[in-house]
Amino acid sequence: MTDYVPVMSHVADVAGEIPFTLVDIGCSGGIHPRWRQFGTRLRAVAIDPNLAEVERLRKAETHPGVRYVAAYAALPPDHPFLQRKKGLGDWHRDSWHRMSVVKSLEAPKSRPLSASEQPAANLGSEMALAEPSQVIVVPDYLRQNGLDSVDFLKIDVDAKDFEILNSFDSALDTLGILGLQLEVNFFGSARETDHSFHNTDRFMKAKGFELFDLTEVRRYSLAALPTRYLHCQPAETESGRILQADALYLRDLGFAEYRELAERLAPEKLLNLICLFSVFNLPDCAADIVLQFRTRLSNLCDTEHVLDLLAAQAQDPEGPRLSYRKWIERFQAQDELFFPARSRASSQKPSQDGNWLSTMVVRAVRRVAGRFLSRFRSGIKG
């Protein structure tokens, strides 16, 4: 996420009441602040089985378009994916029990917990959860509640993510979903039903989505040789194997094979796709949409101004801002602006951004607790 997304204010001025609809499955902690940038256009359905958390979020929420639902998301029992899964677990070759974080969380059981340790040790067994009967098939729930269009879907439930994704197998198209953020695992077997990155990626590619980013790449050291935690509570570590990340999938309408899909999308949807690329700091991809569908977008917005705003996002926030046309002219001239400064070139080190983990302590602790909670949930459901 970038803090500077100038196109959003312009779209807010010209889009009027064109809605932007978010579905957040696994909403503990609340919807991400990025979605607040959509202002009054935002419509959100946020789902989580944690009754206390949903109630807290309901009380704290000030946006009239955001709705919290206390329930489990799941597949219908006769879904083909469950028939293929045949009662197998959500993943295999899971080395979680060998991780140093598990040993740290088990250790306090033999001694009193300090005030700072207690949040991390809450593994979910005492949490008030929705009744096992409170299960919804999310696409059906959306239709029953009058939602026939969704712009973005986020799934992060620490276990049944791939099952829930499969509940959208046809709804990705019928709801016109433009993008998804999915928690993915970099472990798992060759089974086609494992909740693993390779299965998620294959599913998404088959549905016409492309991978645009992997964020919050999380490493965990093994207990055989623990390494330092990144936070003040047991969670991710500075080194260790890559275990999980958040994968961002979006529609890339630049491919000729997606031309028919692009023609079916209303101009309002194209405008929302531009906004999505922008809020995820992909202004180049947003500009590509503007250029490809300029005629269709011209009745909704000043496309030249939108390109200028996207160019501003792509530039150094500390320097002067060039218009889109000037930016392109400088690029075509192979201006030094597009290359590392000579004074830094010899000493510049390769970026390590992709290896750094999130510094959001609360989310890290919640994620660890969620892994234990997922096993508790599995016990409830049998």
Which string of DSSP letters, residue by residue, matches 122-139? Answer: --STTS-B--TT-EE-HH
Write down the pLDDT at residue 96. Answer: 86
**Cα–Cα distance measured from residue 308 to residue 19, given in angstroms and rounded to the nearest whole number:** 24
Q: Say how many CA atoms lie within 13 Å of 249 toward its Cβ.
A: 23
**Could you tell me the residue range of the domain that residue 15 belongs to?**
7-259+358-381
Residue 102 covered by a domain: yes
**Cα–Cα distance measured from residue 54 to residue 48, given in angstroms and rounded to the nearest whole number:** 7
Residue 131 covered by a domain: yes
For residue 65, the tally of other CB atoms under 10 A from its CB is 17
Contact 209, 200 (CB under 8 A): no
Residue 332 covered by a domain: no
**Cα–Cα distance measured from residue 189 to residue 74, given in angstroms and rounded to the nearest whole number:** 22
**Cα–Cα distance measured from residue 187 to residue 153, given in angstroms and rounded to the nearest whole number:** 23
Return the CATH number at 95: 3.40.50
Residue 167 covered by a domain: yes
Residue 162 covered by a domain: yes
**Cα–Cα distance measured from residue 210 to residue 231, given in angstroms and rounded to the nearest whole number:** 32
* Torsion angle (degrees, nearest 10) of CA 25, 197, 258, 145: -10
Run of H or E residues at 80:
helix 80-85
Write down the pLDDT at residue 343. Answer: 44
Residue 275 covered by a domain: no
- Positive or negative torsion for Cα 40, 5, 271, 164: negative
Domains contained in the chain, number? 1
Token pair, residue 136, equals 């919804």
Q: Helix or strand or coil: residue 331? A: helix
Write down the pLDDT at residue 152. Answer: 98
- Positive or negative torsion for Cα 265, 268, 271, 273: negative
**Cα–Cα distance measured from residue 150 to residue 33, given in angstroms and rounded to the nearest whole number:** 18
**Cα–Cα distance measured from residue 382 to residue 155, given in angstroms and rounded to the nearest whole number:** 22
Residue 127 covered by a domain: yes
Run of H or E residues at 20:
strand 20-25
Residue 269 covered by a domain: no
At residue 341, what are phi and psi to the nearest 5 degrees?
Answer: -60, 140
pLDDT block averages, 10 residues each, the chain of length 382: 84 90 97 95 97 96 97 94 89 89 79 48 60 88 97 95 97 97 94 95 97 96 96 93 96 91 94 97 97 95 96 88 96 92 51 41 59 53 44
Q: Which of 180, 179, 148, 177 is nearest to 162 (CA)?
A: 180
Write down the pLDDT at residue 285. Answer: 97
Which residues does 281 contact at the CB level (< 8 Å), separation at least 6? Answer: 1, 2, 313
Write down the pLDDT at residue 297. Answer: 96
> Among all chains, which residue has been given the structure tokens 């969620």?
370
Which string of DSSP letters, residue by residue, matches 261-330? Answer: HHHHS-HHHHHHHHHHHHHTT-HHHHHHHHHHTHHHHTTTS-HHHHHHHHHHHHS-TTSPPPPHHHHHHH
